[in-house]
Structure 1
Amino acid sequence: MSVHSKYKLTDFLPTTKKEVELRGWDQLDIILFSGDAYIDHPAFGAAVIGRTLEAAGYKVAIVPQPDWHGDFRDFKKLGRPRLYFGIAPGAMDSMVNKYTANRRLRSEDAYSPDGRHDLRPEYPSIVYSNILRQLYPDTPIVLGGIEASLRRLTHYDYWKDRLRKCILCDAHADMIIYGMGEKQVISIAQKLENGAHIKDLKHIPQTVYLCKEGDIPGGIKEDDIILHSHEACLHNKKYQAENFKHIEEESNKKHAQRILQSVDNVYAVVNPPYPTMSTAEVDAAYDLPYTREPHPKYRGKTIPAYEMIKHSVNIHRGCFGGCSFCTISAHQGKFISCRSKESILKEVKQVIQMPDFKGYLSDLGGPSANMYGMAGKNQKACEHCKRPSCVNPEICPNLETDHTKLLEIYHAVDELPEIKKSFIGSGVRYDLLLHKSKDEKSNEAAKQYTRELITRHVSGRLKVAPEHTSDRVLHLMRKPSFQQFYAFKKIFDRINREENMRQQIIPYFISSHPGCQEEDMAELAVLTKDLDFHLEQVQDFTPTPMTVSTEAWYTGYDPYTLEPIFSAKTPKEKLAQRQFFFWYKPEARHDIERELHRIGRSDLIAKLYDKPSKQHPRAVYDPKAIGSAPDVSNKKRKGREEKPTDNRRKSAKQNDKRPKSCNPNFSSNHRRRQK
């Protein structure tokens, strides 16, 4: 927190008994336990939920990163709330936050002071809830955030390598709020205040609860979707794949059906979601009186996630991309909710007033940078649609792809005299820019947006996410053909030449995605070499709950076709794919040449390497030789000086750094806040 802060302690939501007393309160209505540090900013879920409840007249406090060891004093210090406890485990899934794709402990937690990685447990939703249930057995407990949202039904847990039940079974909480949460927390508070019992709150949209079959409201109805039971899924992986198709479809419908799943002789009941938030509702969430700063308790400490986003502004929610490995639509929904220009400008002016602001907005974006203002032209058609993606396998003819409204936002922000430059740090969907609409106005706006993006909103490096080069793998990822990347790069290079600029395009790629073979990765190496890319922004696929890719990875079946699908699972299989990202590293060449011989693609060696290898590769594959990853330290390659502005300047050591808006390892980005 800046030492020049203009805010007092009482401008933040209270976190201690002393801060509660400073407000003159005798008892709190709701207490939120957060796995993240408390940053009073609309990019962080606990702050938004806390401010939302405060605006509705409730006395609310936040206990950030409570110590779950010893005597549980952090869970006792504020006493028992009048209405309920809320648990907000963090903006990122706790297991993704703690572990890499290789299940190794990360050295830094970006949402903790000074990046400390020991301030949150694994599965804080479960840990916090069980402690509270032990201390306050009769007080309602409500789970929210990405962790509970994506574990609302039977799900595969990559870190435990097994199917797990609805998280309510392990957490012993009363209810899950899935999605963003503002409406649900108010509805729950109002009903409890009016005398209802938490077990009777079975009609609130976008919530999940457990109950016996005889207690299901209205009984099991004809239009309810009955999934295979948890116990059946344990014995038949194909059942789990079948279940997921229904779960995803209902997450992406305007009018979803209720979902039921039997587990432990009760049912997990998933109520359909609320309608997509209106502009006025989204504005209300962002216009609350945030200080936009970390709580004063962190003075003198650095919270990496805050440093990343403090000069950025989120302009919409939702994503209709439907990428197979991404959790955005499962949590935020497919339909876009946009903020008004007035609300966006109001927040930009708040950023301008920050003491350390130098005139540069780090991001003016959202889950996907250029979906603002886009929706179905004929909303009646959208009412009956259950496609998980509006852009795959092709862009829906009913989708409005006009970038005009977004350009108006950019222009309004850039006209502010204090703004020197507004960068677009979120992932850009270049398939939307290349789309040829029947509406010529939309086509012209796409051209204008592309040019303005490249010439005005890029800080020298534009990050995009083709993810792979194989059209077969891209089809499974629900991403556009790599030919579209070629087309976009051609435009990017042309505009740079015309404007006498020397900017770079930085692509992101994934290895070991379901359906990806070593041969696909070898061809990726050749194609990216031809494009003069020495890849730096790469990662192994990490299975996270409630994605198509995860279900395919675990079950071995495509959830939509139930056709068998291969996935690289063992460390050796994953490394055999990942090493092709680093073909340019001298220390990787020997293993790569040997692997190309093994898979019968020795023809690619000459395409990767101009000179014959000094060391002849073994004719027989030696699995012991692929026992550790190639050296990815940031060293200069022999015989060539690395320039700071070259694509090669950073190493593959940064394989976890992707645009957060499309990172499968980041279930929620800094802009995607959740309770």
Structure 2
Amino acid sequence: MRTFKEELKKFLPTTCEELELRNWDSLDIIFVTGDAYVDHPSFGVALLGRLLESRGYKVGIIAQPLNPEDIARLGKPNLFFGVTAGSLDSMVANYTASRKKRKSDDYTPGGLNNRRPDRAVIRYVNMIQQVFKDVPIVIGGIEASLRRFSHYDWWSDKVRKSILVDSKADILVYGMGERAILEIAKRLESGKNLEGIRGTMIWKSSLSDELFNGLTVHHLPSHEEVSYDKNAYNRMFREIIQLTDPHRDVALVQKQDTRYVIQYPPSPPLTQKEFDELYLFPYTRRVHPFYERLGKVRALEVVKFSITAVRGCFGGCSFCALTHHQTTHVISRSVDSILEEVKLLTKHPDFRGTIVDVGGPTANMWSTSCEVRNSHGQCPKNCLHPRVCRNLEHDGGAQFVDLLRKIKSVRGVKHVFVGSGIRHDLILDSPNADYVISALVDFTSGQLKLAPEHAHPHVLRLMRKPPVEKFLDFKRRFEEFAKRKGQRKYVIGYFIVGHPGEGEDENIYLKDFIVAYLNYIPQQVQIFTPTPGTASTTMYYTGIDPFTNEEVEVVKSERVRSLFKERIVNRSKRDEYRAEITD
């Protein structure tokens, strides 16, 4: 039986005692994160830490520090500190769509929201700078990625500067940072500067040709311009989306007061071999004992025995930040790698035979491809809106279904479920639709969750979502197949209220749709939260669709937005709300 010390050595170190267990005097890299340390590939710090470890670097983790003393506990790293707010933007994690402080945090031991500060990246960088004056600081993750240029911040209701300038970190890694973080470590190890690394941003007080090394330089509207001119803000957003592509060698520059932030082109997507490698590192799939003693981390329980099969999404939904974070390039793991990970899961002492999810941002995008995107980058068209592009090579998810069956055949696996997002319009666009839908019945645990998001055509067009009739068609087919198989399984819809374009009439339209076509009162209804980096947030701030320049109705009253939700979820009071909202 393994001792406690032997168990600790399975994790990346978090205390000086763990350094002593390895006979290490110091660490090369220390990650600081707003999440508890969970050694699972769904958590970015664990994944990047294991990747760096595999390349010979000594990596430690400080999770959810409360003060500079916490920052100091592992000493000064030889190379750099890596800072992230965690798996969520800290303001999204800390506040509801009504700007009320959340009581719970699924990424914190015990579930209490008492460990992650507001604007966590800035706070953590400031803590580090109080203790260590001369250590390079690298920021990354969702919060840093989506706030890397001037951005509308709903919580303060103003346009804020780049988080790189506000934090005064040395470099920002945007998107999925595997290649960039390895290059940063390599350069610092050899004493080189951090200029020109793809997938990163730096800031400078002046510009020179040496910073760009032959790249095309594009100047975005300045922070001052986008702060008072909403047309300039729209142009900035549009240019960032269109020019941030690994196939375009464009450096984006934005002036922020007397400084300049410089975004180098994105890193190319990982090869399948590189992607496969990330998920076969020796993860324990457990919370580190230092944090585990403080309570359970609910976020782990949801993904503990899940499989990431695909990364990226070309859906282009207006309210989703994934395109801004990862671009639209989709990469898929190999079947062999996925099956190898499944075999590892079956050997885990806590595994009871159920794979809770196989997928990614959109599960049935696994094995899809687009030769235009692969060779030339993202074209101006949306791949799925208003209809599925003919250049897209896909089978609706037939190969994905075959993958699920192969996983199910692995010894020790009793059940395999799909909990990731599914694009039903992609399935319906394929001649394999009935085959895929029928198979999904067998890989659904009770209810298949889909996201029509709304019902009104105008709102759906602004969301870049398919017509709601496609949702109804998919729902009907799925439930018919379930009935034929003697299984009581249903499709449940997610909806958003308060999105730009939804006024009183559109909200009533959604309510009437749900009453007419759904046999339940949906609980999966959220009020739109304007998060940094999305087209929907740009519409919310400017009142204009940044891609079409059409004016968009925006309801900003929190009371009205809350009433929009109440009208949908509280059937007994639905008839009362029209009078209240129009008062």
- What does residue range 575-586 of structure 1 map to in structure 2 within 5 Å? 575-582=562-569, 584=571, 586=572
Matches of 1:268 and 1:279, distance apart in 2: 32
- What does residue range 77-96 of structure 1 map to in structure 2 within 5 Å? 77-96=73-92
Alignment equivalent of 2:335, drawn from 334, 341, 359: 341
Residue 368 of structure 2 corresponds to residue 366 of structure 1: no
> CA 1:236 to 1:257, structure 2 compared with 1: closer, same or farther past 3 Å?
same
> CA 1:227 to 1:88, structure 2 compared with 1: closer, same or farther past 3 Å?
same
SS of the equivalent of 1:424 reads coil
Structure 2 match to 1:641: none
1:427-478 residue CA offsets vs partner (Å, 9 max, x unmatched): 1110011104xxxxxx23x332211001x11111110000000111101001
- What does residue range 322-337 of structure 1 map to in structure 2 within 5 Å? 322-337=316-331
Segments of 5+ residues of structure 2 without an aligned counterpart are: none
**1:361 offset after TM fit, Å?**
1.2
**Equivalent position amino acid for 2:150 in 1:** T
Matches of 1:7 and 1:250, distance apart in 2: 49
> Identity of counterpart residues, as a percentage?
40
**Equivalent position amino acid for 2:77 in 1:** P
Say if 1:512 and 1:540, in contact at 8 Å, map to a contact too. yes
1:98-149 residue CA offsets vs partner (Å, 9 max, x unmatched): 1100011111110010112111111111001012122222110000111101
Alignment equivalent of 1:498, drawn from 473, 484, 496: 484
Structure 2 match to 1:103: 99
Structure 1 match to 2:237: 244
Residue 415 of structure 2 corresponds to residue 427 of structure 1: no
Segments of 5+ residues of structure 1 without an aligned counterpart are: 437-442, 599-620, 622-675
Mean Cα displacement is larger for which, 466-475 or 281-290? Answer: 281-290
Matches of 1:497 and 1:431, distance apart in 2: 22
Alignment equivalent of 1:279, drawn from 272, 281, 304: 272
> CA 1:350 to 1:264, structure 2 compared with 1: closer, same or farther past 3 Å?
same
SS of the equivalent of 1:348 reads helix
Matches of 1:85 and 1:378, distance apart in 2: 38
Residue 554 of structure 2 corresponds to residue 567 of structure 1: yes
**1:389 offset after TM fit, Å?**
3.3
Alignment equivalent of 1:552, drawn from 539, 556, 561: 539
> CA 1:263 to 1:377, structure 2 compared with 1: closer, same or farther past 3 Å?
closer
**1:7 offset after TM fit, Å?**
6.1
> CA 1:355 to 1:388, structure 2 compared with 1: closer, same or farther past 3 Å?
farther
Higher Cα radius of gyration:
1
SS of the equivalent of 1:260 reads strand
> CA 1:150 to 1:379, structure 2 compared with 1: closer, same or farther past 3 Å?
closer
**Equivalent position amino acid for 1:458 in 2:** T
Matches of 2:227 and 2:478, distance apart in 1: 49
> CA 1:388 to 1:4, structure 2 compared with 1: closer, same or farther past 3 Å?
farther
> CA 1:435 to 1:203, structure 2 compared with 1: closer, same or farther past 3 Å?
same
Residue 488 of structure 2 corresponds to residue 488 of structure 1: no
Structure 2 match to 1:387: 380
Matches of 1:317 and 1:363, distance apart in 2: 14
Structure 1 match to 2:186: 190
Residue 450 of structure 2 corresponds to residue 464 of structure 1: yes
- What does residue range 597-636 of structure 1 map to in structure 2 within 5 Å? 598=582, 621=583
Mean Cα displacement is larger for which, 349-358 or 95-104? Answer: 349-358
Mean Cα displacement is larger for which, 523-532 or 215-224? Answer: 215-224
SS of the equivalent of 2:207 reads helix
Structure 2 match to 1:407: 401
> CA 1:511 to 1:562, structure 2 compared with 1: closer, same or farther past 3 Å?
same
**Equivalent position amino acid for 1:552 in 2:** M
Q: How many residues align?
A: 579
> CA 1:10 to 1:405, structure 2 compared with 1: closer, same or farther past 3 Å?
same
- RMSD, aligned CA: 2.0
Matches of 2:211 and 2:185, distance apart in 1: 24
Residue 508 of structure 2 corresponds to residue 508 of structure 1: no
SS of the equivalent of 1:19 reads helix
> CA 1:418 to 1:96, structure 2 compared with 1: closer, same or farther past 3 Å?
same
Matches of 1:589 and 1:127, distance apart in 2: 43
**1:264 offset after TM fit, Å?**
1.8
**Equivalent position amino acid for 1:370 in 2:** N
**Equivalent position amino acid for 1:560 in 2:** F
**1:183 offset after TM fit, Å?**
0.9
Alignment equivalent of 2:524, drawn from 519, 537, 542: 537
Structure 1 match to 2:262: 269
Matches of 2:4 and 2:419, distance apart in 1: 26
**1:414 offset after TM fit, Å?**
0.7
Say if 1:253 and 1:383, in contact at 8 Å, map to a contact too. no
- What does residue range 647-666 of structure 1 map to in structure 2 within 5 Å? none
SS of the equivalent of 1:267 reads strand
Normalized against structure 2, the TM-score is what?
0.95
Residue 159 of structure 2 corresponds to residue 172 of structure 1: no
Alignment equivalent of 2:369, drawn from 375, 378, 381: 375
SS of the equivalent of 2:9 reads helix
Matches of 1:175 and 1:314, distance apart in 2: 28
Matches of 2:5 and 2:314, distance apart in 1: 40
**1:543 offset after TM fit, Å?**
0.5
Alignment equivalent of 2:411, drawn from 402, 414, 417: 417
Alignment equivalent of 1:313, drawn from 307, 310, 322: 307
Say if 2:270 and 2:331, in contact at 8 Å, map to a contact too. yes
